[in-house]
Amino acid sequence: MEKKITELFDSLTPEEAALAGDECRIERGDKDITARILSLTERKAGITMENRISHTKKYSRRFIGFMAAAAIAVTGIVGAGASYVYKKNSASERYFGAGADEKLESMGAKYEQTFKGKHFDINIETILSDGQYITVVANAEPNDERGAKMLQNCEEPWLHSVKSEISDTEFDEETNTLVENGRAVMRWSYVLDEPQDKVTMPMSLITFGIEGGKYITFAEFELTFEKNERTIILENAENEKISLCENSISGRDVTIAVKTDPLPFREVTVFYKDGTSKSIEIYGSSESRDDGHYDKIHISFLEFVDIDNVSAITIGGTRFEVK
Amino acid sequence: MNDKELLSLLQSDPEKGLEQVVESYSAYVYAVCKGRLSAVCDERDMEETASDIFVRFYRFGLKRGFDTLTAVRPVILVIARRRCADVFRAKSGDPEVIDIDDLSYLTDGSTDTERAELIELIKALGEPDSRLIWLRYFYGLSSKEIGKQTGLRPNTVDKRIQRALSKLRQQLEEDM
């Protein structure tokens, strides 16, 4: 009988499953597990950006944990020597808004470099750094049938730096990958523990191999980040300071009044000297303690801010002025 | 949100719809992953598998149209069960070649008479027995896990399942 029932469930169709009533219900789920599954699902489905506020930190911490397994599962590594110039494209506009390419060009942030890897070539498109918050926009193009198949099979690759494994920062990596036009477009960002005008990071292009159930490294290479973004300092009524660059906010020991629980950073507004203001689209942020205090705060944007004309910025219910 | 509301949201705003589907059914999907894969996967792998299941549902819906679905739960459950079977085989080193992109079972549309009858017989057991059968044989949960779901003691779970199986066997024999 048990065999018969198992066979039934093994070959069940949706129509047959629909015949079951509420007896197939599951009542008790774990909220943390749901949050992690949601984060993974959104990333794989390419829709993480709006929801990164509540998930980025969890993902980062988790990511650090499982990379040890990834190191064991390396199946093919191609060194940085195998690089060449590749064709121009515009993936950066997805992460920084329309017209981003021109802005990035003026900042000297545009790159055209390719690293050949196993199954995928990784094309570096943009490298940004304000000295502490570093960002790469890239795309991975399949270079064989297996790579193309992996994209179809939700095994799209993403960027990772092994350096984050040894970091003690509370806010490590932000990664986002989405598949479009037969390639994986990705943004990777990282907050350095201490500001550095120039830093070289060891990078990997990896994925989770569904069939093998292990992390797979397609390519390993190094990227050098030189400061190419300017910053301005803003201050709140408590004299706490934040640093604003074109695409992110950073600071230490800052308390933010929560305005919209549970996602206070959905509301970041920039006020300009000409009296106009703009609500900023958020890419990711660190999380506060329950009292709204941040030992280290970081909020990244999906657009550029004209920092030369900023007069103030509000984060949640706290206003920071340019002094 | 019920399935009708989920399908409506998936049609009007697929991304928000997916988020709600995960919120509504992650416990279901994770239960399948835990029940079917805990012997070969750690928690992180099970979460990865669960997310793959939702992504498959989402991409299937985008491709076929969410308006072609009449419910969410049955589709999610079927994808979950099949996906976990694939992952289990892969983790167990089974050399069987699986077409990982084959979701044709979702559009089969057929209902096998014998299987439908068995489902109805399980349903006719009434709760909690019918539910115990689903939790044990669909989700693959242990008696302890089923106890957490139902509030029954593990040995009570075992006894009731044995009695339910006997009853099902008897009814099937009578029908033949």
Residue of B104, B98, B164 whose CA lies nearest to B134 = B164
Instruction: Supply the ipTM of this predicted assembly.
Output: 0.86
CATH number belonging to the domain at B111-176, selected among 3.40.50.300, 3.40.800.10, 1.10.940.10, 1.10.10.10: 1.10.10.10
- Taking an 8 Å cut-off on Cβ atoms, the answer to whether B78 and A208 are in contact is no
Domains B1-110 and B111-176 share a fold: no
Is there a single domain that holds both residue A168 and residue A256? no
Q: Residue A89 belongs to what domain range?
A: 38-226
Is there a single domain that holds both residue A160 and residue A81? yes
Is there a single domain that holds both residue A287 and residue A165? no
- Partners of A84 in beta bridges: A114
Is there a single domain that holds both residue A270 and residue A308? yes
Q: Which of A8, A62, A154 sits opposite B118 (nearest CB)?
A: A8
Confidence of residue A164 (pLDDT cuts 50, 70, 90): low
Residue A61 lies in a domain: yes
B52 interaction partners in chain A (CB closer than 8 Å): 44, 154, 210
Dump the DSSP string for A73-92. T------TTSEE------TH
Dump the DSSP string for A254-269. EE---SSTT-GGG-EE
A50 interaction partners in chain B (CB closer than 8 Å): 15
Q: Which of A206, A226, A246 is the last residue of a domain?
A: A226
CA-CA distance, A307 to A197, in Å (whole number)? 19
Residue A164 lies in a domain: yes
- Encode burial over B118-128: b for 16+ CB neighbours within 10 A, e otherwise: bbebbbebeeb
Q: Which of A226, A261, A296 is the last residue of a domain?
A: A226
- Residues 35-54 on B with a CB inside 8 Å of A are 40-41, 44-45, 47-52, 54
pLDDT (0 to 100) of residue A287:
63
Confidence of residue A238 (pLDDT cuts 50, 70, 90): very high
Q: Which two tokens stand for residue B32?
A: 């399948």
Confidence of residue A177 (pLDDT cuts 50, 70, 90): confident
pLDDT (0 to 100) of residue B41:
84
Q: Which two tokens stand for residue A21?
A: 């009533």
Q: Which of A192, A226, A260 is the last residue of a domain?
A: A226
Is there a single domain that holds both residue A208 and residue A241? no
Residue A161 lies in a domain: yes
Residue A197 lies in a domain: yes
pLDDT (0 to 100) of residue A290:
64
Say how many domains are in chain A. Answer: 2
Is there a single domain that holds both residue A129 and residue A256? no
pLDDT (0 to 100) of residue B109:
54
A11 interaction partners in chain B (CB closer than 8 Å): 105, 112, 115
Percent of chain B with pLDDT over 70: 88
Q: Residue A283 maps to which CATH number?
A: 2.60.40
Lowest-confidence range among B38-47, B99-108, B109-118?
A: B99-108
Per residue, what are the HEC states of A153-215?
Answer: CCCCCEEEEHHHHHCCCCCCEEEEEEEECCEEEEEEEEECCCCCCEEEEEEEEEEEECCCCEE
CA-CA distance, B107 to B101, in Å (whole number)? 13
H helix intervals, A267-309: none
Q: Is the pLDDT of residue A73 over 60?
A: no
- Please count the residue pairs, one from chain A and one from chain B, whose beta carbons lie less than 8 angstroms apart: 180
- CA separation, residue A16 to residues B60, B117, B119 (Å): 19, 10, 8
A70 interaction partners in chain B (CB closer than 8 Å): none
> What is the mean predicted confidence (pLDDT) over A34-55?
65
Report pTM.
0.52
Top CATH class of B1-110 equals mainly alpha
Average model confidence (pLDDT) for chain A?
Answer: 76
The per-residue pLDDT for range A263-276, each reduced to its tens digit, is 444 578 999 999 99
Distance from CA of B61 to the nearest CA of A (A): 12
Using CA coordinates, name the residue in chain B closest to A154: B52
Using CA coordinates, name the residue in chain B closest to A22: B131
Highest-pLDDT range among A85-99, A176-190, B7-21 = B7-21
